[in-house]
Structure 1
Amino acid sequence: MKPVAVSISQEHSKTTTVTATTGSKVYRPYSFWFYLPTAVIYAVLFLIPTFASFYYSLTRWSLFESKFIGLDNFKLFFAEPALVKGFTNTLIFAVVTSGSKVVLGLLLAVLLTSQVIGRAYLRSVVFFPVLVSTVGVGLLFQVMMNPERGIINGALGVIGIDGPGWLTDPKWALLSIAAVDVWKGVGLATLIYIAGIVSIPREYLEAARVDGAGAWDSFRRVVLPLCKPATVTVIILSLIGGLRSFELIWAMTRGGPGFTSDVISSVIYKQYQAGFYGLSTAGNVILFIVVTAIVLPLNWFLNRKEVDL
Structure 2
Amino acid sequence: MKVVVTGAAGQLGQDVVRELAKKNHDVYGADRSQLDITIEADVMSYIHEVKPDVILHCAAYTNVDAAEENEDTAYQVNALATEYLAKAANEVGAKMLYVSTDYVFDGTATEPYEVDQATSPLGAYGRTKLAGEQLLQKHLDKFFIVRTAWVFGVYGNNFVKTMIRLGKERGEVGVVHDQVGSPTYTVDLAKFMVELMETEKYGIYHATNSGVCSWYEFAVEIFKQAGLEVTVNPLTSEQFPRPAKRPNYSVLSKKKIEAEGLTPLRDWKEALAAYLEESN
The normalised TM-score by structure 2 is: 0.25
Which structure has more RCO (C-alpha within 8 Å, separation ≥ 6)?
Answer: 1
Higher helix proportion: 1
The normalised TM-score by structure 1 is: 0.23
Higher strand proportion: 2
